[in-house]
Structure 1
């Protein structure tokens, strides 16, 4: 009776291998490289151009465009967040950074590979005197697995995980920054479109009034109380005003087309939605500027720059860990039999495990240079962080002073437009009664149109300065953004045949 091989060696080998890896995984390891410290930034205590106002709260800047009280703009904002292509690309970068972090986590764990083979074998004939012994063919079945585990004694993998975690955090800030820019752009182009609509309507009203003045002048000319020069000037002024309409219409169309692109749709997608005349959006409530220190937490571009600095600080540790020995545990377990059913029962068992060490002895300074590269990159991102903070402060100060001064300018322009309109009305009435010259009417109508048109442009600037201030302060989207859904869902990724003839270039 043939006895079966004992299973105890297989169990002992597997147990020893598992215990060795587990004990190593639980052992603490050191890390090399600098530990990250948030940079100390000196900021002013107050905004130089901000009016006195109560302390700002984070929710004051949430959905800031609601302060413009325009439902069409509200709907465009919602659609832009879900359809914009730059936002979609930022979502993809988040998924990429998340997958990179998963790879970094995997490096902290052992790797195990299974293997199996079936081979047909026959040994050569052996001679013994005159007798010839021929070995018969046989089949050998083998199965096993190999395992390896990097001890990470100097923390290179841990630093890499730290860097990938900071990169993931930076990708989320990049998404927020993209949303902030998008919302500001949609509001700006929408305001400009409404401004062009108002200016087109003004040009049409003014041109119609000037055509009436030209007709009145022609009547006076026919009656002998006006000259042909007056008629020519009246017609020329009406034509000059009408000449502004095509240019304004083209600018309006460009703004509307840009809104369509920002929504991730074709350029004319929102033409019908915006075609109905509506007033220029005007802010009703001031935006609380808070204090300069708020930009560090509110501005996503500042937060992104800080996370990138942390990421590249951790990469120094990755580069420095390569200077030290690399210690790994490797092990293998194999079983073989001449019958497939005996692989689990009556097989021959072999195993091996133990440490392996790789020591960098000579690399012509390559590893030291890699550390210097990592340190230089860290310095670059530190300088970029400081620059981003200063740019944020500048953006807020510029927006504050622009909005404040434009509001003052609009008050004077409104007063000017009101008086010029009254002057044009009186001059036209006096001219109709023969108590004023045509030059007075011509000058008054030209000045009234220019003043009203400038006032409309100022109202657009007030709103766009309001939008710029909201962006500079870090106001943006507050809702949830789903980053898990890919743009393309692949089908048929399981093993299948492909007709490679379709890959031939078409000539």
Structure 2
């Protein structure tokens, strides 16, 4: 047998397991992710089955509240909110983790070099000392894990699902933010309206008290009547500080949601505006729509997918792993001789790693991964049920509040007529002061309830859009970091600054 034949046979023996591993590298273990099927109701509880449901109109739904100031606040909040900034940073983190995981599928290579100055000293037994000499080495190392059973590919798969989940988390944060801005804005305008009502009512009641004092001088009223009239006016005025405090809290919250100090919007919103009135009715689509429109549901589904991939990664750790490693190194006594008149060595071959005994740790790790996957599957189902509940509750709340609002409007009209009549009769001396005070108190209570009902309609409208999955659908740049560090390359260290 010639030397060439022996070399060829040796090469075949070396390459055979490598080729086998390459064929097997398309193999993966563990469960493949399948999007779960969940039985969904055919329609919402208030829908008539005979009529086809119109899809929800979720794009920029807050604009149907018809308030330009609200539109501006929403845009400012999306740009400046700190929770949104945090969610964008999580996306950058997830994308970087994905790139890091994807790198495990490719070979790695490292270069090395060294230069030493050497000399051997004379020994006590008469050995001569050597002259000083230089010794130079350079090398190149490479390795590649063949990923026989898909551990690295499952890791990349999990990281990709993690990116999807982080993007849905940003959408969920934006949905909550837009809803909170609209809700607090409606509440702030509502408090302004209630404050104006309280002052207007108190002024009317002060006029009644003044009239009572005039009647006291004429002998047609008593001092007790004057005290009662003045007491009711003061009680109405006492509502104002509480309403002012609630208004200030709503404005402060709006300021913080836009990324500003609490008092930043005080002057801007000081001038009153009407309570936002939505355009109704609102189409709600069908329950299955929330699987696509609710970002929290989609995030839960992506997390379930991510942890399904983790099961495969844990299972693959129980199987053998094969890596191809190789290196080339050269050494010489002169730097210019490297790669020329130098010693050159190389090695190349596969490395097999096989778990033999680990006291069940790898199996336990796979069981842990499966249990975590089950938890995220349950969390996904829970998120769907919560979403269905949110929509049903919002539908009922909005429908019933509109009915209540109509009744309250009729009540205000009737109490207004009664109050006007009682004042006229009181001036003519045909009605008692108690009747007037009772009518004014009832009118004020009815008008305040009507304002609160208008606020509730606006906030219920906001809640329904949030429940249906309506959020920000504009562009969001999540690639730009919050901190852009300068001078990150090698440089002389400087002493840290202290405050």
Q: Deviations over 1:431-463 (max 9, x none)?
A: 112222111111110000000000000000001
Q: What are structure 2's unaligned runs of at least 5 residues? A: 1-13
Query: What's 2:66 paired with?
Result: 69
Query: What's 1:279 paired with?
Result: 274
Counterpart check, 1:92 vs 2:89: yes
Mean CA deviation greater in 422-431 or 181-190:
422-431
Query: What's 2:483 paired with?
Result: 488
Q: Aligned partners of 1:318 and 1:108: how far apart in 2?
A: 14
Q: Aligned partners of 1:214 and 1:277: how far apart in 2?
A: 29
Query: What's 2:157 paired with?
Result: 162
Check 1:86–1:501 CA distance in 2 against 1; reply closer, same or farther (3 A cut): closer
Q: Aligned partners of 1:478 and 1:149: how far apart in 2?
A: 43
Q: Aligned partners of 1:159 and 1:239: how far apart in 2?
A: 72
CA contact (8 A) 1:127 1:133 kept: no
Q: Aligned partners of 1:392 and 1:157: how far apart in 2?
A: 35
* Offset, 1:346: 2.1
SS of 1:410's partner is helix
* Offset, 1:56: 3.1
Q: What are structure 1's unaligned runs of at least 5 residues? A: 1-16
Q: Aligned pair count? A: 484
Structural mapping, 1:118-267, within 5 Å: 118-123=115-120, 134-267=129-262
* Offset, 1:141: 1.1
SS of 2:26's partner is coil
TM-score (normalizing by structure 2): 0.93
* Offset, 1:470: 0.1
Q: Aligned partners of 2:257 and 2:48: how far apart in 1?
A: 33
Q: Aligned partners of 1:51 and 1:68: how far apart in 2?
A: 27
Q: Aligned partners of 1:135 and 1:496: how far apart in 2?
A: 40
Q: Deviations over 1:143-171 (max 9, x none)?
A: 11111111100000000000000010000
Q: Deviations over 1:228-255 (max 9, x none)?
A: 1110100000000000000000000000
Counterpart check, 1:389 vs 2:389: no
Counterpart check, 1:402 vs 2:397: yes
CA RMSD across the alignment: 2.2
Kindly report structure 1 stretches of 4+ aligned residues shifted beyond 6 Å. 20-27
Mean CA deviation greater in 113-122 or 448-457:
113-122
Structural mapping, 1:235-384, within 5 Å: 235-384=230-379
Query: What's 1:107 paired with?
Result: 104
CA contact (8 A) 1:198 1:279 kept: yes
CA contact (8 A) 1:50 1:289 kept: no
CA contact (8 A) 1:21 1:149 kept: no
* Offset, 1:502: 4.9
Q: Aligned partners of 1:501 and 1:391: how far apart in 2?
A: 50
Structural mapping, 1:412-423, within 5 Å: 412-423=407-418
Query: What's 1:13 paired with?
Result: none
Query: What's 2:11 paired with?
Result: none
